[in-house]
Structure 1
Amino acid sequence: MSMLHAEEQLLPVVGAEKWEPARNAQAAAKFSIDEVEGKKVLHVIQESNEGYSSYRTMTTLPAGDYTLKVTAQGKTDKGILLQCHSFNAEGKPTLLMFHTTEGGVFETEDLYVTFKVPADSTRLRFDLGMSSTKGDVMFWNPNVLKGKVKAPPKKEKEGFGAIPAAQRWVAEVLWFENDPGIPAMDFTKEFTLDAAPVAALCEITADNGYELVVNDKSVGADVDWKSVEAYDLMPYLKKGVNKIVIHARNVDGPAGVIFQAVIMDGKGNATVVATDKSWTVTHTDGSPAILKSFGPDSAYKSHWGVLPFIRINPPTALKV
């Protein structure tokens, strides 16, 4: 049963108090504390399918029932891992909480996990991260609530007011292997929509330029790699199989393309289509090439440099 509770801060505040990165020898991982919309967030990127990586903090709590609450956003192959260990006076650890989610894209999801602190606990260790999976996840506002607190029910939506710009990229920067200086390539993705969309927004840029084609219709083009464009995809999408093609062009130096779309149906369900290793790349004559992904981390630290990928704002939100 849910209990009334005052949401006091029982875990260290991100950015103000101590959160430490942790990983084992098998994990290839990167860590950072980023700022998104004025809030500090824990950012974990695991680049290997072996080992674990997490942000970790220590605290003490009296014996009793509690609920870990944290907001997650990002993408993993196999899911997020949330853990809590208790240590007694002799330093012996006891696992109090081991929670994993399904893999996929997390637009913004509030996670609630209950656990019980034993009477012999002298300190607690919390880990927020992933294990045995590649992924790129940010954690907002981690906290512990007193009592067993259930997640609030998700509201059914008859529609929604707007699709905001991406708060951050889950997309990966793509090009192709063994680039011999060929200036043009085609990147293709087919996907299925179970219902007719009611709104759809995409954001895209490429070095040096691109033309975006959806279901054989040209959506837009640009040749300035320092800008990011937003397009309304509603006139181009349909229920059933859809096809996106990005005709990417490079003049000289580094090359890459990045694309991300959020597509909503009438019940408020979101489908995210973003450049990743599931796309195909071909030469403009249709002959195959080998796809190369620079990974999700490149969306922040690529040759685009100062471009604020996590703060992209389209000219207007798309109204339904």
Structure 2
Amino acid sequence: MFGLGGAIAYAGLLITGLRTWWVEAIGAAFLQLHVNPVSLIAGYLLAMAIIALAIWLTLRQLRKTPAPALLHGVTTPGETKPGRLAPIVFWSALGSAAVLLIFTLLQGATQSPVLFFVCGALLLIAGLAGISSWLRRQERRYRRILPITRLLEMGMRNTVRRPGRSMLSIALVACACFVIVAVGASRREFGAEVLLKNSGGGGFTLVAESAVPLHQDLNTEGGRSELGIAEDDSALAHLSQVIAMRLLPGEDASCLNLYRPQKPRILGVPAAQIERGGFAFQETLDGAAANPWPLLEQESEPGVIPAIGDYNSARWILHLGLGKDFVMKNEFGEE
């Protein structure tokens, strides 16, 4: 019962931290702790069942150890035969990874993230199976009572003493390393390609948001003069192109939002951006792969407004796909 109280206190502490110290990580400060008695009872019963199962498995394992050995403090059974499953898993996973890699190289799809994770997972499984098989083979050798002459022998004897425990530690470290390598390999270092118009940044080097609406045209000298921009700065701005977009305030549609936004932020794209084009698109309608921006000017059904959205936000946050509708309400509550 003390565990249930500690769990509630720990969850409350986390919720408090998410509302205060780490509020910038989730973008929401209205989280509250909800305690359901049914969940507490179910968790308590499940924990008791797991404890009983662990005790039963331990006693079942100790039955294989002779009673005199138990009286002397020996809790491990005698020598066990090396398992046959580990070598099969090793060669199967290794062969599958090799076949998949060769097939992908022949197809030319070497940049596929799915290929990376599938091949990496197969190689990880093969490595763990190989280590497990090797530990089982070394178990008989290092179980013999021989004098320890080197530090390596002492480490090996401790490792093969409990192969299951050693494999658990090795698997945890291996999985952590795999995740770190996967994240590091997926990280992109932006260079000169961001200046290209068809890149993910659209060729823009700066993005700015004003606190109040700006109706002046920053691409003209008169517009910059009305905003009080100095002549030296105005001459520098003359070498740049500014595309102003109208912003409809709304909810954050990034991964920082824990909830599905009902009214995401919307940008009104001007004709200058439609004519300019740019940005890299993951998916487009048929026949619009070269420049999908003119699709925003096409007439649709009454009440339907074409839109272009960030791929990850539309798919994972808004749960939408290409050609799907997202219903929004205006300031009058009308859809």
TM-score category, normalised to shorter length = under 0.3
More helix by share: 2
Higher CA-based Rg: 2
TM-score by length of 1: 0.20
With a CA cutoff of 8 Å and minimum separation of 6, indicate the structure with the bigger relative contact order: 1
More strand by share: 1
